[in-house]
Amino acid sequence: EDKVVQSPLSLVVHEGDTVTLNCSYEVTNFRSLLWYKQEKKAPTFLFMLTSSGIEKKSGRLSSILDKKELFSILNITATQTGDSAVYLCALNTDKLIFGTGTRLQVFP
Amino acid sequence: DSGVTQTPKHLITATGQRVTLRCSPRSGDLSVYWYQQSLDQGLQFLIQYYNGEERAKGNILERFSAQQFPDLHSELNLSSLELGDSALYFCASSVDGLEQETQYFGPGTRLLVL
């Protein structure tokens, strides 16, 4: 059965810290791995990763996929209170298979 | 603003009732997806439509049904509601629901069953 596991479940840090969120998967075939940020309402798209070893970057956020070891990480540097959210990882097969998310809380 | 609209924003109803949630995809998108997000289950895929036809089915209960109309909007019907159906229901759309496509999410409909 296809499975996506995110860790940690919850993370509390101070502003300025760097965090690494993990997404490991047991999915036989997928087209891409997606990261979303969910605040109070709908998830917003962050990254789509299709190739192993190529880092995608957007400001303080970056992400990379390792298809050999079956995981992806999302890094956030110099965290800000506005980064507080649930971060979701999803595998794109015929449908999206989501992990349960990592809740990040950033305190001033 | 993703361009996907959902109505209503909030819905409170009693057990045993039936509700309809409505979704309008982004302009030009042919594929619509429905998801349920509850506290203990995370985000669960329910069903996907493409250009009016059902394309993929996930963990959708028999009490739930959906359809996509010729104008591409979609409705999710939930019947014989139970307390456990209380959740946030998201609709997402993509251009044609095929490979390597980003899905754009609507703001969700929060359903509370009392």
Instruction: Quick: pLDDT tens for B28-69.
Output: 999 999 999 987 777 898 999 999 999 989 889 999 999 999
Q: Is the minimum CB–CB distance between B105 and chain A shorter than 8 Å?
A: yes
DSSP-derived 3-state class of residue A94: coil
pLDDT confidence of B70, banded at 50, 70, 90?
very high
Q: Which helix (H) or strand (E) segment is B91 a member of?
A: strand B87-94
Q: Kindly report the nearest CA distance between residue A41 and chain B, in angstroms.
A: 6
Smallest Cβ–Cβ distance between B107 and the set A42, A45, A50 belongs to A42
Q: What is the mean pLDDT of chain A?
A: 89
Q: Is the minimum CB–CB distance between A32 and chain B shorter than 8 Å?
A: yes
Q: Return d(Cα A64, Cα A46) in angstroms, integer.
A: 12
Question: Which CA distances in Å does A49 have to A15, B13, B32, B70, B96?
Answer: 27, 40, 22, 33, 19
Cα angle B101-A40-B5, degrees, rounded to a multiple of 5: 50
Given a contact cutoff of 8 angstroms between Cβ atoms, the answer to whether A33 and A72 are in contact is yes
According to the model, what pLDDT value does residue B53 have?
Answer: 94
Asked whether the bond before A8 is cis by omega within 30 degrees of 0, the reply is yes
A92–B101 CB contact, under 8 Å: yes
According to the model, what pLDDT value does residue B72 have?
Answer: 95
A95–B33 CB contact, under 8 Å: yes
